[in-house]
Amino acid sequence: MPKPTPDKIRASVVRMLALDLDLPLILVISGLSEQTIWSIRKRWEEEGLFRARKPVGVGRPRILDIGDVWYLCDRLAQDPDVYLDELQRELSNAAGIDVHISTVWRALQRLGVTRKITNELWNGTMKNVPNFAVRYERFDPRKLSLLTKPQSIEG
């Protein structure tokens, strides 16, 4: 299927047709086919529009409808620390919809929900910072090469 004709070119074709330019000249200037010129003209005469129609319902329909997405939003509002597998399980129990965990993740992404670091993971990471600093100090500075700028580690 060819690419849709840009609206600027469609508007130019309508202007050239309004100026009564010859069809061969319009074909050369626009670089469009004769059929495309006639379809632009027909749409302009019938509907007064030159823009291409937007395809409706293109692609496979979504498994999760608006109610399911609202359920996910409400559940996240109740408990922001809920995991994806818990949401998947609760969606299955509440709505009877068995979806893959990536489907839940993509639905949340479309809503603008981003990844987060859970409190347990963050607290566990911060516990290791003093140990890293102690181990790092044991090395001879001349034998170390840093890949990033050094940052102070407070423990």
Whether the pLDDT of residue 126 is over 70: the answer is: no
Q: What is the pLDDT of residues 73-109, one digit of tens each?
A: 888 889 888 888 899 999 889 888 899 999 999 988 8
Question: Of the ranges 26-35, 59-68, 88-97, which is most confident?
Answer: 26-35
The structure tokens 């469009």 sit at 32
Average pLDDT score over the chain: 79
pTM above 0.85, yes or no: no
Calculate the CA dihedral of residues 19, 25, 29, 35 and round it to 10 degrees: 90
Q: How far apart are CA 17 and CA 122, in angstroms?
A: 66
| Three state DSSP letters for 18-41 | HCCCCHHHHHHHHCCCHHHHHHHH
Q: How confident is the model at residue 29 (pLDDT cuts 50, 70, 90)?
A: very high
DSSP one-letter code for 147:
S
* Rounded average pLDDT over 18-36: 92
Whether the pLDDT of residue 155 is over 50: the answer is: no
